[in-house]
Amino acid sequence: MAKESKDKTSTAVLQYFIMQNRPFAVNDLLQSAQLKDFGKAAVQKTLDQFVVAGKVMEKTYGKQKVYAINQDLVSSPDDLNITEIDAKISELTRQNAEDEAFIKKAESELKILNSTLSIAEATSQLKMLCKENETMESKLKDLSQNKVKLSAADFKKACVIKEKTASELRKRKRICGDMLDQILESYPKGKKALLEEVGVETD
């Protein structure tokens, strides 16, 4: 019965060393779930026997002894396993690079979305600009048809205003066009439907 208990201790300690393949002090071994029930005396005796047999190497650090498995007892991966591991590492590295690129792209798109107007905000601004455009077009039409009688000084001033108005009108038309394009990216219907919804009239 004592021999059977001894064999169990020896087998458990050796298997634990091979599985973990790192140095241990006796107290470290007794912390493991596999060896804690064997008792310190039995584990220490087994270690002493392994040291004599050359299965375990012993080193003393101060008052503490540390034990490590003889590496000849630990199986090393064959060439095939190493090749498989290298291939797996390469695949994981490639996948990681793809994931990082995807995250970077998503962050960039999110930044753009956060900096742009919502559909409601853009629609509101578009209506305001279209109304201002209509007012400017009406004034420009009156000036171009000479409906307003002006003195020479006023005429010159009107020409300056006309040029500025025309320039501003072109600018605002361009802004309206850009805003329409921006809204259409998220708008479920076509451009014609959007123009009708916001009340925009094209010339």
Top-confidence residue, 2 or 14: 14
126 pLDDT above the threshold of 50? yes
Question: Residue 56 — pLDDT band, cuts 50, 70, 90?
Answer: very high
3 pLDDT above the threshold of 70? no
122 pLDDT above the threshold of 80? no
Top-confidence residue, 36 or 136: 36
Top-confidence residue, 11 or 177: 11
Domain residue extents for the chain: 2-73, 77-115, 117-198
CATH class of 2-73: mainly alpha
In the predicted model, what is the mean pLDDT of residues 31-49? 88
Per-chain mean pLDDT for the chain: 77
Three-state SS string over the chain comes to CHHHHHHHHHHHHHHHHHHHCCCECHHHHHCCCCCCCCCHHHHHHHHHHHHHHCCEEEEEECCEEEEEECHHHCCCCCHHHHHHHHHHHHHHHHHHHHHHHHHHHHHHHHHHHHHCCCHHHHHHHHHHHHHHHHHHHHHHHHHHCCCCCCCHHHHHHHHHHHHHHHHHHHHHHHHHHHHHHHHHCCCCCCHHHHHHHHCCCCC
In the predicted model, what is the mean pLDDT of residues 64-92? 75
